[in-house]
Amino acid sequence: MPLKDILPGRIGYGAAPLGNMFRAVPDDQARATLQAAWDQGIRYYDTAPFYGAGLSELRLGEFLDDKPRDSYVLSTKVGRVILDELEEGARELGEKGGVFEDGLKNKIVHEWTAEATERSIEDSLKRLRTDRLDIVWVHDIAQDFHGDLWLQKFEEARTGAFRVLDRLRDEGVIKAWGLGVNKTEPIELTLGLDEPRPDGFLLAGRYTLLDHEHALERVLPMAQEAGVGMVVGGPYSSGVLAGGKHFEYQPASQEILAKVDTLKTLADKHGVSLKAVALQFPLAHRVTAAVVAGATQPSRIAEDRAALNEAIPAELWSDLRATRLVSDKAPLPHGA
């Protein structure tokens, strides 16, 4: 089923911050943020076992427990199994080792076999307090976590997770599946397979104001030709486009901060928020089914909803093209 037929709207809530991403978030604040998302009409929620070693799923499951199951769409991910065993010390997780240091201390096993995929789904259903998932993404089979071993991990997923999820989709247990990654190469490789066939992808950080050239050159045209949709994650590039100081899950460099300042100056010149520009840019591409943005403050949710509907003059997009901050190949909102 096409992602656009599954997703209830153009914006969803990305629940990675609920796993104590970058910092510890109090339970009452996490719940208030979710309540704000619900009150703003957001009905698509994306999470993963990896986010805080199950903490994000637990918090989301508790919040959604009293909501009618047919009233929202839920996606989570496979590739990490959360054990009851606890471990202390910093986690060694590729380039993102310290992102969830304040999450739960349960040991995480990285595995994409058929058995691990089925167990991961069962565990997620329990944490999320639900009887079904709508979309399942195969998580992080890419270079940023596995370096030169990423193709080995991809092959494990191809013969394991891909086939399990393809079967569950065909049986009607889930509505759709695909990859949830921060790199384009695994998506390109998947689209080159004869089978199994995914329904779409969640691509984080690769189709934003700060990084979109490569996606436009290869992966988005491939997805369009294959007739599959894309959920764009991280439209604010780890927060730096929304007033934060992180880019690519790390402290932003001076070069990135300077580029963001230039973008903000242009947005200010035209009387619009940079957040609106960052959110609406990826939605202009016909492959984009929705964007998911994370937050840990209720006020940020209202800002996201307002940014989605903010009027942006065509002159701003022209300025972004003229200064080469936006590629000439990128579709722009309202044909600007």
Catalytic residues: 51
Q: Helix, strand, or coil here: 293?
A: strand
Contact yes or no for 105/124 (Cβ under 8 A): no
- Distance (Å, whole) CA 159 – CA 243: 42
- Distance (Å, whole) CA 301 – CA 299: 5
Residue type, 34: L
Residue 95, sorted as left (phi over 0), alpha (psi -120 to 50) or beta, turns out to be alpha
Of 288, 287, 280, 269, the closest CA to residue 309 belongs to 280
Count of beta carbons in the 10 Å neighbourhood of residue 2? 13
Residues paired with 135 in a beta bridge: 75, 176
Helices (H), the chain: 3-6, 27-39, 55-64, 114-128, 143-146, 150-159, 161-170, 185-191, 213-214, 220-226, 254-269, 274-283, 298-309, 314-322
Give the pair of three-digit tokens for residue 156.
């494990």
Percentages of the chain per state (helix, strand, coil), in multiples of 5: 45, 15, 35
Mind spelling out the 3-state secondary structure of 44-77?
Answer: EEECCCCCCCCHHHHHHHHHHCCCCHHHCEEEEE
Of 112, 107, 76, the closest CA to residue 92 belongs to 107
What is the phi/psi pair of residue 252, to 5°?
A: -70, 145
- Distance (Å, whole) CA 275 – CA 260: 11
Give the pair of three-digit tokens for residue 290.
């929705």
